[in-house]
Structure formats: C-alpha cells, structure tokens
Amino acid sequence: MADYFAGPGRFSGANVKKIIIIVVGLVVLLGGAGAGLFFMGMLDEPLGLTEHVEGEEGESAGEGSGEGSDAEQVAEALFVQLEPISAPVISKGRVEYQVLLTLSLQVSGIGAKNDVQAVLPRLRDALHTELFSGPIQRDEETGVIDLTDLKKRVLSLTRNMINSDGIEDVLVLKIFRMG
C-alpha cells in the first residue's frame, strides 16, 4: 500500500503543495467575489435580507395609508428601491467605462408606490433603453458624472411611464465604477 503513494506522479510532497495552493487560492478568490457581491448589495435578495426590510416598509406603509392624520401621512416618505442597473459613461464621444447604479424613487403615497411596483419590469427595461441610447454624460475637464441630468432623465421617464405626479424624486444610492 505504501508503494502506491511513492510512485512517480503520485502524492509526492511537491504535488500535495500544489494542490493545497490551488485550493487555498480558490477559497480566497470565491471569498473575495462573495464579499464584493455582498457589499454591492447584490446578495440581499438571495440571502433574504430584503424580506425583513420590505416587511417593515409594508407595516409602516399600512399605518400611514389608512390610519393617522393627513399631516402624519405627508411626513412619512415612501421609497421604491430599484435593482442595480448598469450604464455606460460617455466622454469625447466614446464609452469611457461602465457604472453600476442603485437608484431609489421617492413617491408621494402608497398608491404611487403600488403603481411603480406594478410596472417594475417595464420600468427597468425603459431605464436600460434610456441609459444605453442616451448614455450618462461626464465633464471632460473634471471627469465628474452629470448626476443632475441623470436624475432628471430617470424622473421624467418614470413619470411618463406611470402617468402620475406621485413620483417626487430620484435618489442615487450607490455608483460603482466598472472597468
């Protein structure tokens, strides 16, 4: 039995070291990728982190939608968070890099929130179309992304799609540069 492991190309010390290095490298690589996805918020849904938050929003929205005074309902802001969306950033007529945007829509009430949630797949498609056909602009001198233009475009697109003035604002929660 000892002869089986001692032959050429078998489990010699050098081969075992190579295997250990490869396994450790894979663990580090997968751990880094998982940590990156976690911090970008892309693992919130698979890990069940958004269910708890949505449950809390649903409770507070229920309280504000039928109970309490009008002043309490106005003071309570409602938000619809969109999934991260990628978009190109253009400078001097060419794509400089891609960004991953996490946006949230501030809505005036539970009715507007329900209207937005009812069309989320169509809204996501419309945002991709808007951001790739008229890409995000960047100042050529400073390199700063024109967030004001981006927010105006998303707000206009959303209001046109929902046919409502219940969309109050667009919030840019995260911008992650890729490439």
Whether 91 and 155 map to the same domain: the answer is yes
User: pLDDT over 90 for what percent of the chain?
Assistant: 20
Q: Could you report the per-residue pLDDT of 9-66, keeping only the tens digit for each? A: 566 777 888 899 999 999 999 888 888 777 777 766 666 665 443 444 444 444 444 4
- Is residue 90 one of the residues assigned to a domain? yes
Q: Phi-psi category of 12—alpha, beta or left, where left has phi over 0 and alpha has psi -120 to 50?
A: beta
Is the CB of residue 37 less than 8 Å from the CB of residue 43?
Answer: yes
Question: pLDDT band at 123, cuts 50/70/90?
Answer: very high
Instruction: Judge if 83 and 168 occupy the same domain.
Output: yes
Give 98-114 pLDDT, tens digit per residue: 899 999 999 988 888 88
Residue 23 is assigned to a structural domain of this protein: yes
Query: For residue 58, is it within any domain?
Result: no
Q: What CATH number is attached to the domain comprising 153? A: 3.30.479
In a domain, 101, yes or no: yes
| 47 lies in some domain | no
52 occurs within a structural domain: no
Within a domain: residue 82? yes
Q: What is the overall mean pLDDT for the chain?
A: 78
- Count the domains in the chain: 2
Q: Which domain holds residue 112?
A: 77-178
Q: Measure the CA–CA gap between 113 and 71, rounded to whole angstroms.
A: 18
The verdict on 90 and 35 lying in the same domain is: no
Same domain, yes or no: 89 and 31? no
Do the bridges between strand 94-107 and strand 167-178 make them parallel or antiparallel, or are there none, so unpaired? Answer: antiparallel
Q: Do 9 and 92 belong together in one domain? A: no
Residue where the block lists tokens 């880094």: 32
* Residue 61 covered by a domain: no
Q: What is the mean pLDDT of residues 143-172?
A: 87
Model pTM above 0.75: no
